[in-house]
Amino acid sequence: MIDDHQSQFAAEQALIQTPPELDPTLHPPTQHEAQKANPRKHMLVIGGSVLGGVVVLSVILGIFFKKPATVSQVATPPPEEAVQQLNSTQQALKTLQDEVDAANPQDYSFPPPPVDMNITF
Amino acid sequence: MGILGLTLTLHSVRASDLFDQAQKDYSFQLEKYRDAYRDFDLKRGQYHNLQTFASQDSMVKAAATMLSHRDEVWYAYLQDLRVQLSETDGLQPALKDVLVQKIVDWEAVVTANKDQATQATTIEAVTQVAQSLDTQGVVMQSFGYEVAANVVWGHIQSSITHANDLSLQLKAAVSKQIYDETVKTTRLNGFTEVDKSLALAQSTLDSVRAERMQFGSAYDVSTEYKKVVDELTPAYEQVQRASTLLHELSAGVEL
C-alpha cells in the first residue's frame, strides 16, 4: 500500500514540477508585430494624444500668458448721449415728479430736533 | 463725523446725495445725543440721591458730554436746512441768500456753545452752557419752520414752472383735441387752486416777515410758519394732480 502511495505521490510531483508544454504559436505579439497587425489604430492613438496635449498646453499657456485685451476688445463706455436714456420729455416728467414729491407739506417732516433745551441739574 | 469733516464732505458729493447724507448724519448725531442724555439722566439721579462731590463731578462730566452732543445735533440740523435750501429752485436767490446767511450765523452760535460745553468742568459752567442756548434754541426752532415754509413754497413754485414747461412740450406732441380736453379736465392752464393757495400763503409769509418782532414769542412765529405750510396744501394738491395727468398724457404720446 505504501509503495502504491509513494509511487502515486512521485507521479503527482513529477506532474507538478514538469512545466506545461507551451504552444509556440500562442506567444504575445511583439511591438513590431502589433504595429504590423493594426497600424491605423496606433496612429490614431498617437495623433489623438498629441492633439490633446496641444489643446491642454494651449489652455495652460492661454491662462498664464494671456495677452492684454486690445482696445477693440475692451468694453468701451457708451457715449454720454446713450447713458442719458431719458429723453427731454421723460426727464421733464421726472423733474416735475421730484419737485412735487419734495413740495408735499403733509409729508414735510423735518421738525427741529427733539432735544432737551431746558436742562436742570 | 466732525463739523469740518461734514462740511468738506458736503462739497464733494453730488447734490442729490447731499440730502441723504445730511439726514443720515443728523440721525447719527441724534442717536449719540440720546445715549449721552440717558447717561446724564442716570448720573443726575445718582447725584440727587448721594449728594457727594464724586457724584457731582460725574454728573458734570456727563452733562458736558450731553450738551456737546446736543450742539452737534443742532449743527447737523442746520446742515440739513442748508442742503434743503440749496436744492430748492423756486425761491428768489436773494431770499435764499438771506436764509443761508442765517444758517451760517446759527452754526457759529452752536459751534461756540459746543466749545464751551467741552471746556466746562464745574456745575456752574455746565449750567451756564445749558442756559445760554435755552432761549436761542426756541428761536432756532422758529427759524427751522421758516426754512420749511420757504422750502415748500419754493418747490411748489418750481413744480408750477415745470408743469407749464411740460404741458407746452406735450402740446407740441399731441393732437390739439387731446390736449384741449386734458387742459379742460385739469385746468392746467389756470392752476386756480394753486393761485389761491399761493396768494394766501404769500400773505401769511409777508405778515410773519413784516411783524416778526410783534409776535409774542418765537413759538408764535413757529405757529405762523406752520400755518403757511398748511395753507400751501391746496396748491400742492393741485400741482400733484397736474403732475399725474401730465404723466398720463405723456403715456399716450410717442416720445
pLDDT tens digits, one per residue of A61-108:
665 555 544 444 444 544 454 344 457 778 888 888 888 888 888 766
The pLDDT score that the predictor gives to residue B29 is 97
Task: List alpha helices for chain B, DSSP H.
Answer: 3-10, 15-50, 53-86, 93-119, 123-132, 134-173, 176-186, 192-210, 218-231, 233-251
What stretches in chain B show pLDDT beneath 50?
1-13, 255
Inter-chain residue contact A95 with B133, CB threshold 8 Å: no
Give the per-residue pLDDT at A16. 53
A38 vs B247: CA distance, rounded Å? 81
pLDDT for B160? 82
Residue (of B145, B5, B133) closest to B74 by Cα position: B133
- Pick the residue of B156, B245, B248 with the most A CBs within 10 A to test the interface with A by mutation: B156
The rounded mean pLDDT for chain B is 82
Instruction: Assess contact for B191 and B242: CB atoms under 8 A.
Output: yes
| Cα–Cα distance list, A72 to A65, A75, A81 (Å) | 20, 8, 21
B247 neighbors A101 (Cβ within 8 angstroms): no
Residues of A in contact with B166 (CB under 8 A): 89, 92-93, 96
Sign, CA dihedral B101-B116-B5-B138, equals negative
**By CA distance, what is A117's nearest residue in B?**
B134
User: Three-class SS string for chain A?
Assistant: CHHHHHHHHHHHHHHHHCCCCCCHHHCCCCHHHHHHHCHHHHHHHHHHHHHHHHHHHHHHHHHHCCCCCCCCCCCCCCCHHHHCCCCHHHHHHHHHHHHHHHCCCCCCCCCCCCCCCCCCC
The whole-number pLDDT of residue B6 equals 43
Q: In the prediction, which pLDDT does B228 show?
A: 85
Which pLDDT value is given to residue B64? 97
Q: How far is the C-alpha of B187 from the C-alpha of B207, rounded, in Å?
A: 30
Angle of the A88-102 helix axis to the B134-173 helix axis, nearest 10: 150
Task: Enumerate the residues of chain B whose CB falls inside 8 A of the CB of residue A117.
Answer: 133-134, 137-138
A10-38 pLDDT tens trace: 555 555 555 445 455 555 555 555 555 56
Tell me how many residue pairs between chain A and chain B have CB atoms under 8 A apart.
Answer: 110
Among candidate residues B86, B100, B114, the one with its CA nearest the CA of residue B10: B86
Q: Do B74 and A90 touch (CB under 8 A)?
A: no
What is the per-residue pLDDT for A26?
53
Q: Identify the weakest region by mean pLDDT among A56-60, A114-118, B138-142, B189-193.
A: B189-193
Q: What is the pLDDT of residue A5?
A: 57
**What pLDDT score does A43 carry?**
75
B120, three cell numbers: 466746562
Contact across the interface for B236 and A100, Cβ inside 8 Å: yes
Give the nearest partner residue to A93 out of B123, B233, B246, using CB atoms. Answer: B246
B109 to chain A, any CB pair closer than 8 A? The answer is no
Choose the mutation target among A84, A85, A89, A101 for the interface with B, i.e. most B CBs under 10 Å.
A89
**What pLDDT sits at residue B186?**
55
Q: Give residue-wise pLDDT tens across range B166-183.
A: 777 777 766 666 666 666
Q: Which residues in chain A have Cβ-Cβ distances shorter than 8 Å to B155?
A: 99-100, 102-103
pLDDT > 70? residue A115: yes
